[in-house]
Amino acid sequence: MADLNGEPVRPVFALVDCNNFYASCERLFRPDLRGRPVIVLSNNDGCVVARSKEAKQLGIKMAVPLYQVQEIIERENVAVFSSNYALYGDLSARVMSVLESQAPTLEVYSIDEAFLDLTGLEYCDSLSRYGSALQQRVFNWTGIGVGVGIAPSKTLAKLANHAAKRYPATGGVVDLSDPVRQQRLLNITPVQEVWGVGRRQGKRLQAAGIKTALQLSQCDPRWIRMQFSVTLERTVRELCGQSCLALEQCPPPRQQVLCSRTFAQRITDYPAMHSAICQYAARAAEKLRQQDRSARGVTIFIRTNPHSQTDPYYSESACRQLAVPTQDTRTLIRTVTALLSSIWRDGYRYMKAGVMLSDLYPPGTFQPTLFDPAESPSSARLMQALDRINASGKGRIWFAGEGKCDGWQMKRNKLSPAYTTRWKDLPVVRA
């Protein structure tokens, strides 16, 4: 791509990241929580996975177990919520929809992050002004605050976004198009905070005398490749403003589908475990069909608490390769039931179980042998009808193997209403 003078146009990326996303979602329909510390818990209300700015200022750390901060919660009147994935997923879709309308190309990087391609936009407007306008539009249309980092590479955009959140004087928008500003930020950024470096590799770099992102950017890329990896070489080039990572408009197909949970209560009897495994198989099959894939490999695992001082430890898994790939819940439930029977042991208090589907195939790509059984043509139609009914909100169909045992279900005692996805939970405003 070249400009009017024939010069190549330098790529420009923006990373838009929602501020304290889970906590912001919980506050959105609760104006009374403004200014009050808010935390969100992991599955089974175990650990802190999200904190508002006020909660961070109280010293509540990420991933700390709930019981360790109970005193702070009670003393400082901290609002505590279980993870409400339906709410977060819906609000994430709204934010991404707004971003998609404001840029020609969008890559959804995570539930609360997206990369935008702003190449050529600097000829029309100031990138900083664009970032501020984008920030304001997302807030006006969704109620979610975001930070915006703009730079000539995705790695630099990630650093710019980090700076936009760390330094209030930026107003939540940092443009690193200027090389001088790039150097200044890189010089004050520890090397382990660079996207793609991490703690372990950061220690190796520090041992080699490379302590800041600026020092990393000044390394010979060929030396970095020989001493570390080609991935880190790309990071070095990205820090120098050379774009090596293009936007992925279509996420790569998944290589496996996993459904696992830690139980709210320990499972000690086979029927409860059978019910759990069958439910996980049914959920994994739904995910499989949403991706338009069929699975040939089926694996299950069960285990007790490895940290228990009183209960004996037991962990086992089993897998099976199907003759032909399938996305039929009935076939998968029959398979996991047989696998569970082979690894179940009485006398244990099981803490976790899961089902993993692997060896995935798009429709029509698997070549069976002459003697492989063919899946019934009615199978796909039946699964489509099942998914359509379950997605309608008017009722749900489940298989007998899933049962009604729910004492092991995930604990979410502090779950907020599904404000945006359930009719009865819609907020009501009275004059």
pLDDT in tens, 299-311: 999 999 888 888 8
Angle between helices 85-100 and 21-28 (to 10 degrees): 100
Instruction: Return all residues near 184 (Cβ < 8 A) that are at least 6 apart.
Output: none
* pLDDT attached to residue 248: 76
Neighbouring C-beta atoms of residue 392, cutoff 10 Å: 9
CA angle, 67 as apex, 64 and 73 as ends, to 5°?
A: 90
Q: Per-residue pLDDT for 49 more than 60?
A: yes
Over range 306-321, report the average pLDDT: 91
pTM flag (> 0.85): no
Average pLDDT, the chain: 88
384-415 per-position pLDDT tens digit = 999 898 888 777 888 888 876 555 566 778 88
- pLDDT band, residue 123 (cuts 50/70/90): low
Q: What is the spatial distance between Cα 206 and Cα 196, in angstroms, rounded to a whole number?
A: 15
Q: Per-residue pLDDT for 421 more than 60?
A: yes
* pLDDT attached to residue 2: 47
- pLDDT band, residue 58 (cuts 50/70/90): very high
Q: What is the spatial distance between Cα 79 and Cα 75, in angstroms, rounded to a whole number?
A: 11
Task: Please name each of the domains of the chain with its CATH number.
Answer: 94-115+128-239 (1.10.150.20), 256-364+376-402 (3.30.1490.100)
N-to-C CA span, the chain: 56
Over range 182-211, report the average pLDDT: 90
21-35, 65-79, 371-385: segment of lowest average pLDDT? 371-385
Neighbouring C-beta atoms of residue 110, cutoff 10 Å: 10
Q: Per-residue pLDDT for 5 more than 60?
A: no
Q: Per-residue pLDDT for 4 more than 90?
A: no
Q: Per-residue pLDDT for 7 more than 60?
A: no
Over range 327-332, report the average pLDDT: 93
* Residue linked to tokens 């293009």: 246
* pLDDT attached to residue 431: 66
Instruction: Return all residues near 149 (Cβ < 8 A) that are at least 6 apart.
Output: 14, 15, 17, 156, 157, 158, 159, 160, 161, 162, 163, 164, 173, 174, 176
Q: Per-residue pLDDT for 428 more than 90?
A: no
Amino acid (1-letter code) at residue 375: E
Over range 421-426, report the average pLDDT: 81
* pLDDT attached to residue 96: 95
Over range 5-31, report the average pLDDT: 86
52-56, 75-79, 199-203, 214-218: segment of lowest average pLDDT? 199-203
Q: Per-residue pLDDT for 97 more than 60?
A: yes
20-30 per-position pLDDT tens digit = 999 999 999 99
Q: What is the spatial distance between Cα 148 and Cα 130, in angstroms, rounded to a whole number?
A: 10
161-165, 190-194, 288-292, 367-371: segment of lowest average pLDDT? 367-371
Over range 40-61, report the average pLDDT: 90
* pLDDT attached to residue 297: 94
Pairing of strands 113-117, 13-18: antiparallel
* pLDDT attached to residue 333: 95
Q: Per-residue pLDDT for 419 more than 70?
A: yes
